[in-house]
């Protein structure tokens, strides 16, 4: 069972503080960002727990939804996000068109505007642009999302596409969520989640205009010899996941951008909870967790999401 955590008020000094980091943004953008920060069980705390379901596009429907066949229906995921009290629900265009009429008014939706399918896996991947701000506005979304692959030879096109999306989103008053996932010929397989590379990826997303940055939990691998020398010379502690998360958050404008960590591949319940304890301890702003929730039966998924939320809420009282 979840421990009893006092639910924050819908508007809080913490949310006001976070919004003060984005003073260049329009009132409409800040209102939409506030909507996400004040929604759900963690609303008002400055912590986010987002349910992303782009895995059907990225990995295929069988791998993604066969473990819990209810998930073949996009409306199931939106209802799961509502039932669990998630901060928002991220999804691609097709699913958003199914979900939006029923859920957009009550659940902040983040339209994922690019995706890469798993039928072709090359050395240097490049997601296709699959939606735009005009779709997000028409469907009543609260934000738009975009993936970049630092380390891919196609990265510059991704950055340029993201720049265009960021400009359009600003004009429409929509916050920008960036999935910053290093991969491609510029990084090794282990380097994709190396602490120095993840920190670099988070920083790049901030420089490209992200309001919310999604990265993977960093391992203790250090990819760059130059970075290793600096980290060792500075005495930056990196021995625990919490310490590595703290370094990543610091790399995001000294913690003045919202950094949330992915849930990754499906894993056992205790592994999920411990990973979230560590990311919360390191100052992470929450999690964006898909397969580890929606591949479980509904009630089990709700309970797990509540337990994860309670971990991040407890961190706000430490």
Which residues participate in catalysis according to the annotation?
A: 214
Q: DSSP letter string over 17-86?
A: HHHGGGTTS-HHHHHHHHHHHTSSTTTTTT-EEEEE--HHHHH-HHHHHTTSGGGGSHHHHHHHHHHHT-
Strands (E), 166-211: 176-180
| Degrees, nearest 5: CA angle 136-45-206 | 50
Residues 6+ apart with CB under 8 A from 238: 195, 220, 222, 231, 244, 247
Phi and psi based region of residue 253 (left: phi greater than 0; alpha: psi -120 to 50; beta: remaining): left
Q: Strand, helix or coil at 145?
A: strand
């Amino acid at each position: 069972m979840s421990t009893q955590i006092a639910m924050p008020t819908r508007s809080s000094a913490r949310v006001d503080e976070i919004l003060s980091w984005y003073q260049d943004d329009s009132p409409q953008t800040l209102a939409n960002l506030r909507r996400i920060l004040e929604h759900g069980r963690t609303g008002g705390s400055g912590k986010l727990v987002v349910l992303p379901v782009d895995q059907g596009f990225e990995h295929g429907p069988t791998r993604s939804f066969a473990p819990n066949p209810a998930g073949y229906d996009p409306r199931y995921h939106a209802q799961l996000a509502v039932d669990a009290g998630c901060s928002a629900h991220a999804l691609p265009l097709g699913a958003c068109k199914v979900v939006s009429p029923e859920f957009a008014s009550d659940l902040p939706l983040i339209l994922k505007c690019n995706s890469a399918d798993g039928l072709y896996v090359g050395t240097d991947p490049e997601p296709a642009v699959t939606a735009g701000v005009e779709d997000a506005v028409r469907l009543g979304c609260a934000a738009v999302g975009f993936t970049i692959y630092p380390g891919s030879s196609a990265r510059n096109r991704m950055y340029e596409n993201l720049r265009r999306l960021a400009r359009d989103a600003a004009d429409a008053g929509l916050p920008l969520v960036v999935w910053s996932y290093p991969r491609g010929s510029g990084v090794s397989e282990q380097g994709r989640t190396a602490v120095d590379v993840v920190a670099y990826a988070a920083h790049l997303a901030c420089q490209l205009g992200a309001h919310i940055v999604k990265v993977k939990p960093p391992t203790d691998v250090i990819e760059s010899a130059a970075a290793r020398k600096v980290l060792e010379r500075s005495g930056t502690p990196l021995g625990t996941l919490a310490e590595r998360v703290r370094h990543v958050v610091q790399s995001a404008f000294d913690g003045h951008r919202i950094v949330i960590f992915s849930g990754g591949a499906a894993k056992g319940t205790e592994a999920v909870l411990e990973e979230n304890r560590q990311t919360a301890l390191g100052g992470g702003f929450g999690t964006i967790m898909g397969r580890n929730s929606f591949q479980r039966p509904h009630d089990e998924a709700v309970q797990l999401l509540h337990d994860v939320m309670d971990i991040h809420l407890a961190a706000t009282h430490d």
